[in-house]
């Protein structure tokens, strides 16, 4: 946010909101980067409105008082600006295991949560590891809600042969290629991303693709997402053909999924990842590590293939199984969609209703 924008809001918001009853409005705050976290905040905003809550513009939250603020990521929420505010405070705690080498911010965030556990009114987690971590920090169990990261089915329709052919033509991918997808941000920062973001497992991704390429001569890789410099450099070194599609937002991802033969997740820590349900929704066979909420969604050999974190051999074998066994590939394409449908944003509304109840007051607007 620019200095001018802050000045305008500082002048405009207080008189505009001073008459609002306490905690009658929900502010959903993203990270203003325009990628995954902002997508989470936009989807929660739509969910809250469908549930009948009054949702005010997120940027206003800094200049209003005594309302309810929910942050779509915990790193921004656990800062003095919000901890010392008059608002009720909620946040998503997706990932960030303390003690992870190279990530001191994980320790800092958990320490802040431990020191201010009583200040936090609501926490969303997506899997048991993070739930245990939040409870260990001292947050009251009644304030912790396990809510999966869902999927917007309208944005990720089920693909078919025509969609596959159209997507490959549009993206310049050979019809004969066996295309492996990786759609994420796995480099540090928002530049080229030559320094790998190790929790996303880009080194494992490259190792898996190297093995798979030696067994599947037609293998090609489709990348999206910012900061993919490390992966691109390594694929070029290994002479593995790839295409990197730059997207302005996540809205164009469905077309990319439809071009794939398999989607590959190699992460070490995740809240989702979103790509698990997105690939299932789009009808793309999935090979993933046991990370985030994936173990609760993937039944190995039934709707996806799953392997231990850092097990490049097993992940590569999974990719090869999808390539070699057309019957398995067809089953995975079909079986994933019902799982995605069960986790559509609308199907998760009852869980969000429980979290928002008592956090935002209904029927108190003026």
251 within domain boundaries: yes
Is 361 domain-assigned? no
Q: Domain of 50: which CATH number?
A: 3.40.50
Mean pLDDT on 228-245: 98
Q: Are residues 20 and 50 in the same domain?
A: yes
Same domain, 24 and 108: yes
Q: What pLDDT, on a 0 to 100 scale, did the predictor assign at position 326?
A: 97
- Decide if pLDDT at 182 tops 60: yes
Distance between CA atoms of residues 45 and 58, nearest Å: 10
Mean pLDDT for the stretch of residues 316-341: 98
- CATH number of the domain bearing residue 329: 3.40.50.2000
Same domain, 146 and 170: no
The chain-wide mean pLDDT, for the chain, equals 95
Residue 363 has pLDDT above 80, yes or no: no
Q: Are 120 and 52 in the same domain? A: yes
Report yes or no on 21 lying in a domain: yes
The pLDDT score that the predictor gives to residue 340 is: 98
Q: Do residues 190 and 334 both lie within one domain?
A: yes
**pLDDT confidence bin for 3, thresholds 50/70/90:** low
Average pLDDT on 224-249 reads: 94
The total number of structural domains in the chain stands at: 2
Is the pLDDT at 31 greater than 80? The verdict is yes
pLDDT of residue 5: 83
Instruction: Give the other-Cβ count within 10 Å of 101's Cβ.
Output: 7
Kindly state whether residue 156 falls inside one of the protein's structural domains: no
Residue range 319-324: mean pLDDT, rounded: 98
Do 212 and 313 fall within a single domain? yes
Is 141 in the same domain as 221?
Answer: no
pLDDT at 350 over 80: yes
- Percentage of the chain beyond pLDDT 70 is 98
Q: Domain for residue 363, yes or no?
A: no
Q: Do residues 75 and 181 both lie within one domain?
A: no
Considering only 43-47, 190-194, 244-248, which range has the smallest mean pLDDT? 244-248
φ/ψ bin of 363: left (φ > 0), alpha (ψ from -120 to 50), beta (otherwise): left
**Do the domain assignments include residue 188?**
yes
Domain enclosing residue 113, as ranges: 3-150+346-356
| Mean local confidence (pLDDT), 135-160 | 97
- Do 234 and 124 fall into the same domain? no
Residue with more model confidence, 365 or 176: 176
pLDDT number for residue 6: 85
Q: Is the pLDDT of residue 4 over 80?
A: no
Which residues, including other chains, have CB under 8 Å from residue 92's CB and lie 6 or more apart?
A: 40, 70, 71, 72, 73, 74, 123, 124, 125, 271
Which pLDDT score is estimated for 159?
96
For the chain, where are the alpha helices, taking DSSP H only? 3-17, 36-50, 74-77, 80-83, 104-115, 128-136, 161-171, 202-215, 229-237, 253-258, 274-282, 294-297, 312-324, 326-342, 349-356
Residues 110 and 198 in one domain: no
pLDDT at residue 213, rounded to an integer: 98
pLDDT digits (tens, 9 = 90+) for 48-62: 999 999 999 999 999
Mean pLDDT of 132-139: 98
Whether residue 101 sits in one domain with residue 30: yes
In a domain, 155, yes or no: no
Q: Is residue 365 part of a domain?
A: no
What's the pLDDT score for residue 364?
58
Same domain membership, residue 189 and residue 117: no
**DSSP conformational letter for 126:** S
**Residue range 264-315, pLDDT digits in tens:** 999 999 999 999 999 999 999 999 999 999 999 999 999 999 999 999 999 9
Least confident of 30-44, 52-66, 88-102, 156-170: 30-44
């Amino acid at each position: 946010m620019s200095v001018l924008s802050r000045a305008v809001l500082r002048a405009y918001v207080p008189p505009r909101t001073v008459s609002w009853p306490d905690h009658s409005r929900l502010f959903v705050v993203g990270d203003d980067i325009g990628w995954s976290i902002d997508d989470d905040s936009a989807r929660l905003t739509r969910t809250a409105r469908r549930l009948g809550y009054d949702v005010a513009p997120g940027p206003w939250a800094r200049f209003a008082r005594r309302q309810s603020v929910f942050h779509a990521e915990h790193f921004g929420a656990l800062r003095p600006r919000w901890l010392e505010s008059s608002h009720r405070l909620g946040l998503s705690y997706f990932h960030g295991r303390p003690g992870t080498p190279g990530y001191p911010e994980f320790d800092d965030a958990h320490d802040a949560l431990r020191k201010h556990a009583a200040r936090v009114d609501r926490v969303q987690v997506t899997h048991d590891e993070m739930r245990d971590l939040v409870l260990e920090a001292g947050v009251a169990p009644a304030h912790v809600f396990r809510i999966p990261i869902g999927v917007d089915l309208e944005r990720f329709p089920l693909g078919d042969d025509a969609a596959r052919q159209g997507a490959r033509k549009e993206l310049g991918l050979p019809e004969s290629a066996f295309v492996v997808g990786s759609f994420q941000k796995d480099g540090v920062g928002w530049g080229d991303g030559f320094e790998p973001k190790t929790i996303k497992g880009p080194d494992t991704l490259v190792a898996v693709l190297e093995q798979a390429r030696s067994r599947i001569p037609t293998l090609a890789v489709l990348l999206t997402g910012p900061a993919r410099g490390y992966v691109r450099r390594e694929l070029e070194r290994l002479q593995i053909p790839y295409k990197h599609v730059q997207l302005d937002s996540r809205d164009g991802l469905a077309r990319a999924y439809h071009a794939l033969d398999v989607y590959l997740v190699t992460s070490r820590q995740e809240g989702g990842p979103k790509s698990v349900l997105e690939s299932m929704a789009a009808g793309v066979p999935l090979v993933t590590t046991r990370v985030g909420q994936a173990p609760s969604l993937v039944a190995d050999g039934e709707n996806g293939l799953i392997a231990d974190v850092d097990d490049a051999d097993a992940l590569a074998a999974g990719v090869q199984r999808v390539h070699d066994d057309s019957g398995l590939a067809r089953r995975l394409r079909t079986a994933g969609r019902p799982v995605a449908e069960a986790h559509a944003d609308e199907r998760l509304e009852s869980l969000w209703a429980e979290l928002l109840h008592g956090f935002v007051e209904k029927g108190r607007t003026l």
